Structures are given as C-alpha cells and as structure tokens.
C-alpha cells in the first residue's frame, strides 16, 4: 500500500536508486577487460519503465545520461512492445540511428520488474577500442558512410530470459580487432547489469511498486519546478552564438560547416534552436541527434542548474530544435565515428551563448581530451589495440583558474603501466607546457605535452580536438595551440598537418610529440593579481618574460616590482 507523501522517504529511495547506478558503474569498471572503462569512458543510468532518468553513475554520465537513456527506452518499447520484454532480458545496440552514439559505444539495457510489472531499466555503455571497419577504433573522420565505420548492431536481445546469445556475440567478435578484450568488456557490462538488477530488487522489496513510482513522480516534478524557477531569474531575450568547424573530417575546410544556435529565454522555458547550423559533413564529424541533445542538456545542468537532482524533469522546460540533415542531426547513412570533435564544439557553443545571456558568470569551456589510438601486434602474435585519452584541462572560471591536465568529464589518460604492458610503446614524457595557459584575470589551463615512442610497426590514429586554441571569455585570451610532431628513429622531426584526424603508418623507433592545447582565460589579464602571477612563475608555469608580456607584471629576483608593474600595466591599458 502506498504511503502518504513522505519527503524523507522520497529522498531515501532516490539516493538508493542513484547508488544502484553508481554500483553498476563500479562493477563494470572493475570487471571489464579494456582500459577505457577503467579510466572513465562509461556511463550508467537508471530509469522508470517509461525511460524517465533518476540516477547516473560515473564517467561521461551527463553527456549520455540526458536524452540518450530516454531515447533508448522509447525505441525498445516501440520495437518489442511491453509483451515481449521479460525478466532476464538484456538488450544491446551501438546504432547511432537508434539512439546511440558512434559505433565504439556499446549500450546494454536491462529491464527491471516489480510484482510482474515493467518498473524500470538499467542502462550502461562503455567505449570499446575497436568495432571493425576500415580504420582501427571506428572513430576516424575519414569515412563518408556509416557502413565504412564498423559493425552496426541494431537494438536486439543479447540475453533472453537469462540466456546469452553466444552465436550473436561470436559473430560480432569475428569482425573486431582485439576480440578477447571486446568480449571481456561485454562480460563486464553484463556484470554491471546483473548488479543493477540486484539493487533494483532490494529497492522493490523494501518499498514496493507504488512508493517506487511515487518517488519518480515527486522527484521529476520537483526538479522541473526548480528548473523553471531558475529560468525565471534569467534575463529574458534572444541570444546567439556560432563556431566554425575546423575541417570536414578529411582535413578539408568547408565554410558551410558552422554550428549556430539561437537561445530564447522565455518566462520559465529555454529554447535552443540550431536551425541555422550547417548541413551534415561529407566526413564522419556529424553528431547523432541524441548525443547532440544530451550535450545541450548536460551544459544547462552544469552551468545553470547544478544543484537540482539528476532527473528527467530537468529536461521538460528545455526545448531543442535540431533539423534533420544538419551537423547535429545527420541523415542515415551519414558517418558519425568522428563526432567527438563536433560534439565538444556544441558544448563550447553552449558556453558561448549562455555567456551572452549571463555575462561574467559562465566559465570558459574545457579542452576535453585528444586521442592516440595505436594498433599493432603483441610479442605473442595477438592483436594490440590501445586507445589513450589525453585530457588537457579546463578553461578559466569567473572566480578561479582552470585546473590543469584533467578532463571535466572524469575521463583520464591510461596509466603508463597499462600503456607499456603490451611492449609496443614507451611513454617518454608527459608534462605541462610553460607559458601556455590562456591569459586572463583568471588563467586557463596549461597545454599538456605527451611523448610516445613506438617499439613495433603499426597504425596510429591521432584525434586533435582543437586546431585553434580555445578562445577566452570577457576579455580573456586563448591558450597555446595544439601541435603534432613525428620524430623518426634517426631523430629527424617534422610537424604533421593540422587536421582533426590523422592516420599514420608507424615504424619501430618513431616518436610522437602531441601537444594538447591550453584553454582560454577569463577577464582582462591586466587585472590578474600580481601575487598569482608570481606564484605561477615560482611554480614554473610561467616565465618571467611571459609574466611581463601576458600580464604586465614585472618580476625581479623572484619578487613583484610593484612600481614597474603599475607603470607597465598603465602603458598597456592606454594602447
């Protein structure tokens, strides 16, 4: 029997369900074989039977939690009907045109039952380091159709009534590089699903179906109200922003590839209209629509409603228009494997347009992470497929410097010990680059340089997110740009072409020097506290020359010369 509304009980159930999502993420990360699940490239979520989200685990949760979870549940219900969804079933898909992301992201969805009723779903994905196809990794921008990118799995049952479809799994494994690792990651996700079912069952046993559903209703309604109240405090009006794509995936500049958004702030709703965004690209830099919508919701939550519960109610007051056939909603069979570069630009665009609406209150976007994906052969003759995420850092905030060398999404670089385990490479160096953070009253994160020497021949894929440095906000300046340098075994160096996606044939002894761009600063650099400039010099983040050049701060004998600093800043301000 349902109890009268009890706010304490609602909070208890909500947090227990959030714990289910968290435990699912932990179980998956600890049992999956591939390193990407362990360094944060995963998401877990729990929803009710209609797909309303209520809890999210770790990793890239905000990107994939919003929109994608609801979309996947809707598609399962539409395709199979509730009568063909049973206890013990687990669905899987990686189809960008069925609500997923790009092909390396494999989703598992496990329905949950209470008293014979379809009461919820547990969802999770991890990024697999290969999915077959023309290019190792399935993330290249150098594809024109999704058929080239790898195996596309439609929404179907991997497990039916508790029985794993081994033949289906075997067919997939026959078409991917590093099949043992792929299978290990699938089994890790199955473990996560079974862990989630245990957690759901405990919630059902303690509270019953009616209280469980009442919790979803109450928390979603509460979140929607909180979001509407926050929007009422925002300045009303129409605000615009745009950003150009660096290239079309093939390294070619296309002036039509521009991301544009118009934000309309009404009484208690937000409308993000991408109707003026350019057409889908020839290369694989298009963003599947559920991913693009998820970025919008994620940015709103982080920048505007950071203290509201993570539920589907947050999405109700936010409308999004993304026309089919555009960069943010491509038509099938447009390629999407390299969607990450554009997806991060959508997030950047959100910072820019919200900064127009709320000047002085929005941080500079972070760099996210670049990518080195290497395919070779281990000493025992088996496949070696290693993907390394290279986090740069955060842009400056209106109140503090941007943190260096970490990703806002929780994804980290793979530990050196794991990278070198296959004996195909050595990590020679990883360091922050002096004088590279975007100048401002608050400094952006510094550029990160990673040096990798390869011991075996193989194929290397480099993804560089920012071909131009991240611009600052409110007078802040951009950071140092990205750079890729190839050094051969004889020590000869050459700068590689500036492109979002590069593919190289690597020879033993080749070394890659990859620099992840520094992030932009916030506010006028001449307003930066000279004491903070001195601290950066003492910590070797900044040279004495750059202190004067970037910030107008004169440092002599490791101390600020206040008189010369005031004169230099006055001279700079009068320019």
Across the strands, what pairs with 454?
425
Residues 444 and 572 in one domain: no
What pLDDT score was predicted for residue 60? 47
Tell me: the pLDDT tens digits for 95-141?
999 888 899 999 999 999 999 999 999 999 888 999 999 999 999 99
Examine the pLDDT at 319 and tell me if it is beyond 70: yes
Residues 459 and 552 in one domain: no
Domain contains 349: no
Residues 403 and 534 in one domain: no
- Band of the pLDDT at 503, cuts 50, 70, 90? very high
- Band of the pLDDT at 3, cuts 50, 70, 90? low
Across the strands, what pairs with 47?
53, 121
Strands (E), 128-269: 156-160, 163-164, 237-244, 258-265
Domain contains 483: yes
Which of 226, 259, 292 is at the close of a domain? 226
* pTM of the full structure: 0.93
Domain contains 319: no
Calpha distance 433→278 (Å, rounded): 35
The answer to whether the beta carbons of residues 123 and 70 sit under 8 Å apart is no
- Tally: H helices and E strands in the chain: 12, 22
Residues 397 and 537 in one domain: no
What pLDDT score was predicted for residue 62? 55
The answer to whether the beta carbons of residues 99 and 294 sit under 8 Å apart is no
Tell me: the pLDDT tens digits for 40-94?
788 888 999 998 888 776 544 555 666 788 889 999 999 999 999 999 999 999 9
Percent above pLDDT 90 for the chain: 75
pLDDT, averaged across the chain: 92
Residues 52 and 161 in one domain: yes
Residues 400 and 544 in one domain: no
Query: For residue 358, which of 235, 508, 222 has the smallest C-alpha distance?
Result: 235
Tell me: the pLDDT tens digits for 177-229?
999 999 999 999 999 999 999 999 999 999 999 999 998 899 999 999 999 99
What does the buried/exposed string (b/e) look like for 253-263 if buried means 16 or more CB atoms within 10 Å of the residue's CB?
ebeebebbbbb
Examine the pLDDT at 1 and tell me if it is beyond 90: no
Domain contains 358: no
Query: For residue 369, which of 414, 330, 335 has the smallest C-alpha distance?
Result: 414
Domain contains 87: yes
Q: What is the dihedral of CA 493, 495, 499, 504, to 10 degrees?
A: -20
Give one word for 121, left, alpha or beta, with left for phi > 0 and alpha for psi -120 to 50. beta
What pLDDT score was predicted for residue 28? 92
Domain contains 43: yes
Domain contains 157: yes
Residues 418 and 481 in one domain: yes
Q: Is 268 exposed, middle or buried (0-12, 13-18, 19+ CB in 10 A)?
A: middle
What pLDDT score was predicted for residue 316? 94
What pLDDT score was predicted for residue 63? 57
Tell me: the pLDDT tens digits for 530-559?
999 999 999 999 999 999 999 999 999 999
What pLDDT score was predicted for residue 486? 98
Domain around 568: 529-575
Residues 436 and 540 in one domain: no
Calpha distance 113→82 (Å, rounded): 11
Residues 377 and 484 in one domain: yes
Tell me: the pLDDT tens digits for 253-285?
999 999 999 999 999 999 999 999 999 999 999
Residues 126 and 220 in one domain: yes
DSSP assignment string, 305-370: -TTS-SSGGGGTTEEEE--TTBTTBPPTTB--TTHHHHHHHHHHHHHHHHHHHSTTSSPPPP--EE
Calpha distance 353→242 (Å, rounded): 8
Residues 144 and 73 in one domain: yes
First to last CA, the chain: 74
User: H or E segment at 514?
Assistant: strand 511-516
- Report the number of distinct structural domains present in the chain: 3
Domain contains 11: yes
Which tokens hold the place of 350?
Answer: 């959100």
Which of 192, 226, 260 is at the close of a domain? 226
Calpha distance 421→426 (Å, rounded): 9
Residue 63, Cβ neighbours under 10 Å: how many? Answer: 21
Strands 483-487 and 493-495, sheet pairing: antiparallel
Residues 420 and 445 in one domain: yes
Which of 186, 204, 226 is at the close of a domain? 226
């Amino acid at each position: 029997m349902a109890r009268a509304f009890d706010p304490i009980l609602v909070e208890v159930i909500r947090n227990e369900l959030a714990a289910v999502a968290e435990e699912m993420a932990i179980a998956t990360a600890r049992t999956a074989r591939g390193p990407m699940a362990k360094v944060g490239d995963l998401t877990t979520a729990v929803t009710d039977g209609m797909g309303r989200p209520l809890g999210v685990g770790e990793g890239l949760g905000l990107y994939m939690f919003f929109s994608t979870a609801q979309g996947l549940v809707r598609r399962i219900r539409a395709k199979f009907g509730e009568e063909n969804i049973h206890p013990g079933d687990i669905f899987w898909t990686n189809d960008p045109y069925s609500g997923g992301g790009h092909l390396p992201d494999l989703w598992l969805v496990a329905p949950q039952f209470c008293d014979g009723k379809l009461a919820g779903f547990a969802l999770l994905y991890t990024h697999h380091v290969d999915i077959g196809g023309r290019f190792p990794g399935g993330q290249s921008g150098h594809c024109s159709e999704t058929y080239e990118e790898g195996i596309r799995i439609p929404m179907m049952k991997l497990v039916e009534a508790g029985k794993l479809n081994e033949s289906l799994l075997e067919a997939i494994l026959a078409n991917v590089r590093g099949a043992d690792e792929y299978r290990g990651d699938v089994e890790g996700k199955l473990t996560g699903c079974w862990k989630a079912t245990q957690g759901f069952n405990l919630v059902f046993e303690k509270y019953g179906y009616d209280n469980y559903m009442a919790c979803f209703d109450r928390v979603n309604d509460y979140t929607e109200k909180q979001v509407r109240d926050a929007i009422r405090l925002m300045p009303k009006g129409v605000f615009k922003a745009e950003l150009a794509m660096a290239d079309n995936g093939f390294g070619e500049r296309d002036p039509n590839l521009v991301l544009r958004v118009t934000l309309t702030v009404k009484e208690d709703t937000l409308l993000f209209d991408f109707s003026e965004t350019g057409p889908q690209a020839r290369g694989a830099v298009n963003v599947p629509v559920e991913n693009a919508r998820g970025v919008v919701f994620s940015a709103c939550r982080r920048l505007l409603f950071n203290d509201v519960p993570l539920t589907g109610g947050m999405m109700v007051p936010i409308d999004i228009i993304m026309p089919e056939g555009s960069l943010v909603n491509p038509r099938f069979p447009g390629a999407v494997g390299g969607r990450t570069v554009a997806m991060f630009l959508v997030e950047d665009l959100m910072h820019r347009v919200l900064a127009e609406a709320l000047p002085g209150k929005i941080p500079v976007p972070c760099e996210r992470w670049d990518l080195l994906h290497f395919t070779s052969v281990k000493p025992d003759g088996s496949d070696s497929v290693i993907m390394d995420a290279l986090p740069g850092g955060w842009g400056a905030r209106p109140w503090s410097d941007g943190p260096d060398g970490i990703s806002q999404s929780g994804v980290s670089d793979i530990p050196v010990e794991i990278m070198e385990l296959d004996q195909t490479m050595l990590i020679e160096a990883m360091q922050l680059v002096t004088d590279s953070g975007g100048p401002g009253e608050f400094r952006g994160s510094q550029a990160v340089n990673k040096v990798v020497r390869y011991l075996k021949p193989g194929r290397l894929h480099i993804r560089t997110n920012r071909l131009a440095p991240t611009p600052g906000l409110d007078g802040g300046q951009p950071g140092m740009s990205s750079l890729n340098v190839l050094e051969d075994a004889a020590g000869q160096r050459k700068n590689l072409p500036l492109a979002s996606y590069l593919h190289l044939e690597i020879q033993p002894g080749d070394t890659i020097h990859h620099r992840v761009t520094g992030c932009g600063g916030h506010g006028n650099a001449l307003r930066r506290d000279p004491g903070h400039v001195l601290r950066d010099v003492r910590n070797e983040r900044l040279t004495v020359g750059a202190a004067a050049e970037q910030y107008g701060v004169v440092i002599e004998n490791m101390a600020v010369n206040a008189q010369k600093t005031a004169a230099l800043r006055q001279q700079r301000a009068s320019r």
